[in-house]
């Protein structure tokens, strides 16, 4: 069901870098779907066999744990990479890091200092990139805040 719904919404395989990436109808669909997942009205594990890289230039235990638990509950696995693991702009370029990750993972969750670097990562990566925070945007937090407002 989850995989079918994301395909129907046209979201499967897309980057999510900013809340403005979603049209109003897509945003409504994502929120409705998130409410259904939270309410336990799903049984699929659409990330079964999928591996997600968690690229965190800016550490955050709340963001990391929420993504890791969510990915695990959907059947996926994660590899967390901190700033010392991938020294973007120092040991390797953002584009090089994207190409390496593309070989091993099915998606990239990135919490980065620079939104420009996030865009560069998404442009270089063939796999979908999800913004977990930049200096300009925090779209997943916006989705969570909207859910909270709707539940109030």
5 pLDDT higher than 90: no
Whole-model pTM: value is 0.91
Query: pLDDT grade, residue 146 (50/70/90)?
Result: very high
> How wide is the angle at C-alpha 147 spanned by C-alphas 48 and 63, nearest 5°?
55
Residues 86-142 have pLDDT tens digits of: 877 777 889 999 999 999 999 999 999 999 999 999 999 999 999 999 999 999 999
Nearest to residue 14, comparing CAs of 141, 122, 115, 145?
122
pLDDT, tens digit, for every residue of 64-78? 999 999 999 899 999
When the pLDDT of each residue in the chain is averaged and rounded to a whole number, the result is 91
Confidence at 8, pLDDT banded by 50, 70, 90? low
Beta carbons of 54 and 80 less than 8 angstroms apart: yes
Class of domain 2-151 as given by CATH: alpha beta
For the stretch 31-75, pLDDT in tens is: 998 998 889 877 788 899 999 999 999 989 999 999 999 999 899
Q: Looking at residue 1, what is its pLDDT? A: 46
């Amino acid at each position: 069901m989850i995989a079918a719904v994301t395909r129907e919404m046209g979201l499967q395989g897309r980057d999510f870098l900013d809340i403005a990436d979603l049209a109003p109808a897509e945003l409504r669909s994502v929120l409705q779907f998130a409410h259904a997942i939270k309410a336990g009205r799903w049984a699929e594990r659409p990330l079964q066999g999928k591996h997600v890289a968690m690229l965190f230039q800016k550490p955050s235990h709340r963001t990391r744990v929420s993504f890791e638990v969510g990915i695990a509950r959907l059947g996926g696995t994660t590899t967390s990479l901190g700033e010392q693991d991938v020294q973007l702009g120092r040991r390797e370029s953002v584009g090089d890091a994207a190409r390496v990750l593309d070989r091993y993972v099915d998606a990239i969750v990135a919490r980065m200092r620079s939104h420009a670097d996030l865009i560069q990562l998404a442009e270089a990566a063939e796999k979908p990139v999800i913004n977990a925070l930049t200096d300009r945007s925090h779209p997943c937090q916006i989705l969570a805040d909207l859910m909270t407002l709707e539940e109030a």
